[in-house]
Amino acid sequence: MSNDPSALTDTTAIPAVDSRATREPARGRAASHGLLVLVVGAWGALVAYAGPAFHYGPAGARAWQWTTPHTVLNLLPGAGAVAAGLLLTVAGPGVATAFHRLAGMLALGSGAWFVLGRSIYPIFYGTVAPAYSAASGGPLANFVTILGYSLGVGVVLAALGGTLLTVSPFRQVVAERTAPVTGQRRLHLRNTDPAAA
């Protein structure tokens, strides 16, 4: 006796993983970069004014002396860097890529001006910018003064600005969502009893 094949429908829940790449702002990284740019920019802007009060600055410099070289070579680029830092730290968690890159360009431009400003200054003002020779004299003191007034500040800001321009402010986060999906498996059972053949 031969039995017809019987069909058994088995409905089971098959988990399916849906991987979605979502973009969320790398808030901590942007804020840390912004804080660094802000601090270095504030230093560069104020060191020409406050430095002599602590015996740190060029020979003969006086504290809080408002001169054109101080304004052009320190205050303005420092203010640009502070603006870049504030843009990153205060813009909120949804900071857009455009603002991120704008902050990077501001920081990079400010850093470049700290480095090159003394060389470009005579082109616009017809006179040589004051030298950063330390009041205490000596090669090491001069080098430290130059670092703190222009070169060191400029290199750090340019490096941070370049990083902001090349590193995306967003990170890819893979969010996995598991959803039950109904799948049907049709199992065909066949009687294989030899006596029934």
Residue 197 lies in a domain: no
Predicted confidence pLDDT, tens digits, the chain (197 residues): 555 554 444 444 444 444 344 344 456 677 788 899 999 999 999 999 999 988 888 877 888 989 999 999 999 999 999 999 998 887 655 556 778 889 999 999 999 999 999 999 999 988 888 888 776 678 888 899 999 999 999 999 999 999 888 876 554 444 444 444 444 444 444 444 445 54
Residue 139 lies in a domain: yes
Domain membership of residue 50 as a residue range: 22-191
Residue 5 lies in a domain: no
pTM for this predicted structure: 0.70
**Are the C-beta atoms of residues 109 and 186 closer than 8 Å to each other?**
no
Q: Write out the two tokens for 113.
A: 């001006």
Residue 12 lies in a domain: no
Domain count, the chain: 1
Residue 3 lies in a domain: no
143-156 burial, b at 16+ Cβ within 10 Å, e below that, comes to ebbbebbbbbbbbb
